[in-house]
Structure 1
């Protein structure tokens, strides 16, 4: 071998001829050449060693120095070296300490006879070189990194097997012995473009590339591949660019893990955005398709979907019902059923097995022993015709309760479901199950509160001769919960009517319950015929007591407040008496004047206590429209209150329209699609009682006047065509006037009102109210009021500023004129 060839081959090797210690040994084992590097390594100068045996530099196995007279003949050296030798030896340094050397010996042919060339370096340098070489070999041949070397003309000079397989190159390019065999046309476009950028810029050019699946590989990987590529220039010692090194790493598997993590994060954001049960299960379906499945079906027990039904029923067990499904194509598998329909699964199906065991069912390959095949082979044929080849069933379970089952199918995605898919689906379904359970519980609570509130509101408003009424009650959205808005129309004595609208602070069952108690209190107080301001004062005391009770029950401060407007309309005087407690003022639409927002004294909200309420009286023409409403009507959509009042006046601008049409106009103009607060409003068109339907007389405080009062009442009943009830009316008039003359004082008056009942009123200046009692057999009196109560339909006492009025109502005869 020529020395120049050896030097070119071993450049950079610590045992290379250009860097190692070099010695020549002849056939007699004598040193004929000793290099400067050898002198530096062992400390012996060349003149002192030339001609001496090479064996004299070695130490024996026992550690003793080999003497110069050791029998190292040419024959023994030749036999030991043969055609070449490489290994470790221990030599003696001139200073006396041993030096471990890595030695490589090879024979040379010379004119004087055979000569051996020995090169040596410290063993530590050789081990370091071998480690570097092992790393280089592992990087180029064993690592998953694809590496190629291209010359300045961008032709392959060296390609490892990884890159050749990655790029689909000919097999011979993966062998470094075929360097230069690949022409420019064989360099893939992605490699060529990036290598060219590295040559032009002189810098490394990393980039991430998505490689779509080829037609031949689509059945193995439907998502394609992700590769990290990098090209950088190669330079010699003088800085001259020799070519480009190109590397590529396939991190598709790592990206799959990232995609799964991103999908879990996406599910946390998309599932459970609302507390609507139907929307929650649909969100789960949208997360699973198409990311994980081509089709998903979510079936829940009917007890879960029947959360709106407040009748007691178990959540788990019973028939399944389709809650949601989603497919990548409109042509869904024929095995599914419509949403909302019962789902019948065979007993051997994985759905039933999953619900029985509470564990997921994973069948990577659809076959005759899986799913419903044993019970319905025709369904298998249909699914196979669609290409379905794998499926997965996971129970929908939260807080120890199984609420349903989730079934996933694949036919477009060729990859079968595996254990990683199962873990991911279980995680997503578990998250969704908690949201479904929350939605179920909320729906039940919301509908319970709504049912409570609806039951506490009037089911139907009474038909009254004083007013024509219409109303709207619009609960808020499900997230805010039901509120405490209420309205009422309460018939009063004397053909009058009370109009009420109120609003309890807060939302939920507590607000609905408080509303019911306040509405009952207002009805009870209204039966006492209290003026509006006095009635609100009593209700204010009740709210304070409710707050004290709640505070004692919860052992902490509780705020219970409400607002209310209470109005009494008299169709005889056509006057409206109104008082309000922290509530918006009513709106009055006159027939010939603009809509009015009267200046009613604004009392404090109910529950503050200690502050008085005031009322105001307004005279109305017949046909006027009075609107009472809660603040949610004018404060909807977060607009300014003044804008709300303007829109309210616009909606009431035509009071001659039908009341239902006016209600629809108010909803359309004033309310958004999803109001954030409950809204209740009541509109009433006033009526006036004709003058010929009311008659009154002054009665002297003389017992002889009772006879005259009976005659006047009889004649009036005859004029009205009510002779059939003349006898009972005479009895009522006689007893009431007699009591007034006997027990009261001041002026006495009698008034008859003919509306849907016959109303008889006797007024006096006394504040003493008569009491109904059962007279004993020995009593001479005390039976008059008892008789009145027996013949009248209703009776009562109303206090006025000048005294009191005792009134009765009698049902009209069936043939009486209306």
Structure 2
């Protein structure tokens, strides 16, 4: 007896033999049959008990009549049933050998009253010790053994598999509780290679007094229903597991993972390469077909069945099922045994050896098609472990799953193509390099989002008149080509507005009007405005006064690091985001010591789904502080890289990131000269003389002639048409000399072409011809006319 089977086990002669042929188990029933006690035979070769030759066993189950040696010397001829049992861990397993001892039927046994013989349902009756009492012909066909041979055996002894032991435990529950049970299991019928799904219905058998005297078990083959549910489950699983990302390789791998081992032992996904210059793959293909291995999966670790490595291209001839499937535009199923692959394998000896080595017997190739375009094929192979070939239902299932995956692959390819287009557009619109100016040195980084589409982040450094420089960082709401195109329009608008020297708050007001108009233009047919918005920060730094004016429209405030100081966030009025319309912007002005580090960025740098925005700002300040360490400040490029490493995850940011760093320079007072101009045209000549003397002091005598002419024209125009006071200022660095004339008039000059007989009108034309560039800007007091002259000849 045992807790699992609380009945006398002596009614069965039972023994176990390991892979070496040694007896490891010997029951009381075996002692009754042959007279040997357990301690006399356990641990010794089982062949010593045979009176004849050792039977040849090649299947997991064997039965037959053999002659055995009794302990007293005579021969006992018995029918034996042997099952190979799988090991619980590593090892070859062992054999369970059983034979029933005499099993009698008591007169009036209620089990005999059950009508079983003509039942189409497989029925078996077990007595109150759970030993087979009788079974009908249908059950005999399921078990594959006649009743007279196995009568008196337990169910686990008849089947010998873990599933049979599980069924026996349920039989015991029915026997002890008197309550029926339904159990589903998956077993091979006797003599069949394919397993069936069974519904075992168990009910107690009672006598006239209501006492439970046994258990009746009826087995119903529900294989078709079970397989239908399995197919439905696999389709549902495919819809969940395939297409979790917009990555072609990942999607193809998900298809292979779903199909192994549920549908095949080895699955590979091979795709046609997209055209080099964009566009869709060809609508039709011709043999030989070039396919790139994108993904594969196997029931064997490492995928030893694979002939082609991932990422490699293989050419498939017309004799291959891959080419046949693509040319026919439908699934193709071939069998090795039927010789369907002979022509192809004759051309590829390596593949033939791989098929033979791994026992591949059936191959199904399903074309991957989406939106009328052929993308590639999914190849499903079955080997020894799945003796059944692909059925029509398997083909329908594979086509359903592959069709879902093909749409996901096509979506991923379209997304990748759009992303590359948007990236190319983004790169073409962003500055390829930042200008070198005397006001500051700058460095930048732009990183597109790792998972979302390309966004509308941008940055720029714009040289202005008077050695000043503008810095701008912006972020258009949304992602994709539309966001990149909008970013390009806004960046162009900012450069245009910067060229007319608008103050930061005025520039943002004009930019806000532009975004409102763009939003209205992007609306639907009904005229309702579209949802277009952006944030922007605009700053102007003057190296002469070392003052910086900043305004922002809903953008993160910059972080400033004074020389030898700690990083801090600048207090700049936030302002509304661009596109709301009609709301004011306010600028802040501050003095910056030479060597101050300014950090401008978009919210993708500091914001992340994994952390609070406050943590992002703290990490940024720490990275900036580390870059200005005691060993001296890092280069701006090193600082940019340090910031990105500190704030961005290894897989990239979930949003676009734009970062602009600028370290300020101050222009020494010795490089600036200023004169107050009296309102007397006759005093222009002395002013010219003073200018020439200043140029001589600076060592710029080569520029004296041109500078004299420019100063004369600009000062004369200011005296004639401007308002007092008038001021002349010269500024220079190593490359440029700037001449500025300011007055209190708000009337801006314009270039015109003088006629032959006109006495004037040629001054600004002459200035334009002599200088590198010129212009005017409005100031709170009036206007400034400026002209730049190059001190170094361009090569």
What TM-score range do you get, normalising by the shorter chain? 0.7 to 0.9
Please state whether the residue corresponding to 1:340 is helix, strand or coil.
Answer: coil
Matched, 1:684 2:662: yes
1:419 is matched with: 392
1:763 is matched with: 742
1:778 is matched with: 757
- Structure 1 residues 629 and 185, CA, compared in 2 at 3 Å: closer, same or farther? closer
Q: CA deviation at 1:764?
A: 2.1
Tell me which of 583, 589, 607 is aligned to 1:617. Answer: 589
- For the residues of structure 2 that align with 1:246 and 1:335, how far apart are their CA atoms? 46
Matched, 1:336 2:303: no
Matched, 1:167 2:138: no
2:325 is matched with: 354
2:466 is matched with: 494
Cα deviation 1:50-72 (Å, max 9, x = unaligned): xxxxxxxxxxxxxxxxxxxxxxx
Q: TM-score, normalised by structure 2?
A: 0.77
1:472 is matched with: 445
1:574 is matched with: 546
1:200 is matched with: 176
1:400 is matched with: 372
Matched, 1:748 2:726: yes
1:735 is matched with: 713
Deviates more, 1:598-607 or 1:485-494: 598-607
- Structure 1 residues 705 and 366, CA, compared in 2 at 3 Å: closer, same or farther? farther
- For the residues of structure 1 that align with 2:609 and 2:445, how far apart are their CA atoms? 18
Q: Which runs of 5+ in 1 are unaligned?
A: 1-134, 175-179
- Structure 1 residues 492 and 317, CA, compared in 2 at 3 Å: closer, same or farther? farther
Tell me which of 618, 630, 639 is aligned to 1:646. Answer: 618
- For the residues of structure 2 that align with 1:763 and 1:300, how far apart are their CA atoms? 69
Q: CA deviation at 1:504?
A: 1.9
Cα deviation 1:19-61 (Å, max 9, x = unaligned): xxxxxxxxxxxxxxxxxxxxxxxxxxxxxxxxxxxxxxxxxxx
- For the residues of structure 2 that align with 1:576 and 1:682, how far apart are their CA atoms? 16
- For the residues of structure 2 that align with 1:334 and 1:230, how far apart are their CA atoms? 42
For the 8 Å contact 1:368–1:374, the answer to whether it is kept is no
Matching of residues 153-232 of structure 1 within 5 Å: 153-170=129-146, 172-173=148-149, 190=165, 193-211=169-187, 220-221=193-194, 224-232=195-203
- For the residues of structure 2 that align with 1:375 and 1:347, how far apart are their CA atoms? 13
Q: CA deviation at 1:789?
A: 1.0
- For the residues of structure 2 that align with 1:573 and 1:367, how far apart are their CA atoms? 90
Please state whether the residue corresponding to 2:377 is helix, strand or coil.
Answer: strand
CA root-mean-square deviation: 3.0
Cα deviation 1:151-180 (Å, max 9, x = unaligned): 334443322233334334346358xxxxx6
Matching of residues 76-91 of structure 1 within 5 Å: none
- Structure 1 residues 617 and 244, CA, compared in 2 at 3 Å: closer, same or farther? closer
- Structure 1 residues 572 and 377, CA, compared in 2 at 3 Å: closer, same or farther? closer
1:149 is matched with: 125
Tell me which of 805, 809, 812 is aligned to 2:784. Answer: 805
Q: CA deviation at 1:715?
A: 2.7
Matched, 1:285 2:256: yes
Q: TM-score, normalised by structure 1?
A: 0.75
1:117 is matched with: none
1:455 is matched with: 428
Q: CA deviation at 1:368?
A: 4.4
- Structure 1 residues 572 and 390, CA, compared in 2 at 3 Å: closer, same or farther? same
For the 8 Å contact 2:366–2:378, the answer to whether it is kept is yes
- Structure 1 residues 331 and 613, CA, compared in 2 at 3 Å: closer, same or farther? closer
Q: CA deviation at 1:573?
A: 0.9
- Structure 1 residues 773 and 368, CA, compared in 2 at 3 Å: closer, same or farther? same
Q: CA deviation at 1:543?
A: 1.7
Please state whether the residue corresponding to 1:602 is helix, strand or coil.
Answer: coil
- For the residues of structure 2 that align with 1:499 and 1:392, how far apart are their CA atoms? 61
For the 8 Å contact 2:142–2:189, the answer to whether it is kept is no
- Structure 1 residues 653 and 780, CA, compared in 2 at 3 Å: closer, same or farther? same
Q: CA deviation at 1:409?
A: 1.8
Please state whether the residue corresponding to 1:463 is helix, strand or coil.
Answer: coil
Cα deviation 1:774-816 (Å, max 9, x = unaligned): 2222222222221211121111112212222111112223599
Tell me which of 413, 417, 430 is aligned to 1:440. Answer: 413
For the 8 Å contact 2:345–2:352, the answer to whether it is kept is no
Tell me which of 378, 402, 422 is aligned to 1:429. Answer: 402
For the 8 Å contact 1:310–1:444, the answer to whether it is kept is no
Q: CA deviation at 1:578?
A: 0.8
1:119 is matched with: none
Q: CA deviation at 1:486?
A: 1.4
Q: CA deviation at 1:695?
A: 1.9
For the 8 Å contact 2:281–2:374, the answer to whether it is kept is no
2:572 is matched with: 600
Matched, 1:666 2:638: no
Cα deviation 1:695-724 (Å, max 9, x = unaligned): 222232333332223223323333333333
Matched, 1:541 2:520: no
Radius of gyration: which is bigger?
A: 1
Cα deviation 1:295-337 (Å, max 9, x = unaligned): 222222212xx6xx77446454564322222233356467632
Tell me which of 485, 489, 507 is aligned to 1:513. Answer: 485
- Structure 1 residues 200 and 547, CA, compared in 2 at 3 Å: closer, same or farther? closer
- Structure 1 residues 669 and 140, CA, compared in 2 at 3 Å: closer, same or farther? farther
Deviates more, 1:627-636 or 1:609-618: 627-636
Q: CA deviation at 1:226?
A: 4.1
1:719 is matched with: 697
For the 8 Å contact 2:438–2:467, the answer to whether it is kept is yes
For the 8 Å contact 2:346–2:352, the answer to whether it is kept is no
Q: CA deviation at 1:136?
A: 8.3
Q: CA deviation at 1:395?
A: 0.9
- For the residues of structure 2 that align with 1:157 and 1:367, how far apart are their CA atoms? 45
For the 8 Å contact 2:442–2:663, the answer to whether it is kept is yes
1:59 is matched with: none
Q: CA deviation at 1:604?
A: 2.2
- Structure 1 residues 371 and 769, CA, compared in 2 at 3 Å: closer, same or farther? farther
- For the residues of structure 1 that align with 2:368 and 2:278, how far apart are their CA atoms? 23
Aligned residues: 665
